[in-house]
Amino acid sequence: MIKAIASFFLLLFLAAGCQKNPADVLPDSDIELTDGLCLVAGDQVVLNHHDIDYYDFSAHMVYLKPSTSFSDVFGEYGVTAVYAGGGKIYDISLHPGYSSSMPQEPFIWTDPPFYPDYIIAISHMWTYGQRAAHLTNERYDSRIAEALEKYGQFRHGLQAEISSIVYNSPEDVEVQLELTNSDTGNYYYLDPGKMGMGLFHYFTNGLSLVDLDEYAAYANNAGHIQPDPWDSFDMEWMSLLEGGSSVTLTITYDSFDTVPPGSYSAFLTFPGMGHQVGRDDLEQQDGRIWLGELLLDSEVVVQ
């Protein structure tokens, strides 16, 4: 492993094509701190823009080049901070999936990671009451976008917003979402109309309505269907959203909690694929499979 990592560092140094300036290197680091996106563990730069294919800004996912992987680098060193443009942007931690504690800063899931080894997914806890969380979330810092754009590594990914929620009765609840692709390339997304509500809700908990003043929450009771085998996926579940276009998706519930009249905060996670998609499957004939999840919130009045 030590020889493999040493060879990896050497390749990165050669790829840089120039001698390091001591001012651009953290103490004891073998990898250059560049003006692109960098991840740092203590005094060591463990990843810089030479390792990155692109960054999906909607899902905060770093897609790695084939020359490196999550397990090779971060399994050995960890990560403590995100840098962009040569400066520190925010602290970050590795967080095991079995832990009962929840980090307050951005973090990376480990043991197991939720995504394939060619991805570093930077997560952030999102709880009821955090309205418009992206406005105060460190991951959306404009300096990160600028550093990525400098090297052609910025991707918008997919954006979604809740267009409307109509609660007629526990047997008749309809949600409309607007899904947008602001990139030039095409993305395949999970389509609830194609895969069916049971399978769609294997990947998401669906709609919740919350009264933040009364600490009361109401949820859908839709059952879910597990894929067979559990770690598989099917392109028949997906639809293609071309670059620069949008689509309206409708999600309906016929089994929801009884919700008293009033005003509520609505929360919904729009899911994408995860660990099931290998590097060789990512790029399809007409576009890429979109991975990740989008955390959405809105307001709704129940009559």
Domain limits of the chain? 2-121, 158-302
Which pLDDT tens digit goes with each residue over 87-96?
Answer: 999 999 888 7
pLDDT at 136 > cutoff 70 = no
CA pair distance 92, 103, nearest whole angstrom:
9
pTM of the model: 0.85
Assess contact for 286 and 185: CB atoms under 8 A. Answer: no
CATH of 158-302 among 2.60.40.2970, 3.30.479.30, 3.40.50.300, 2.60.40.2470: 2.60.40.2970
Instruction: Count Cβ neighbours within 10 Å for each residue of 212-226 and write b for 16 or more, e otherwise.
Output: eeeeeebbbebeeee
CA pair distance 262, 301, nearest whole angstrom:
6
CA pair distance 157, 189, nearest whole angstrom:
11
What confidence score (pLDDT) does residue 15 get? 37
Written as six digits, the tokens of 111 are 């043991």
pLDDT at 16 > cutoff 50 = no
* Mean pLDDT score across all residues of the chain: 86
Higher pLDDT, 186 or 80: 186
pLDDT at 292 > cutoff 80 = yes
The least confident of 14-18, 59-63, 105-109, 212-216 is 14-18
CA pair distance 266, 301, nearest whole angstrom:
10
pLDDT at 6 > cutoff 60 = no
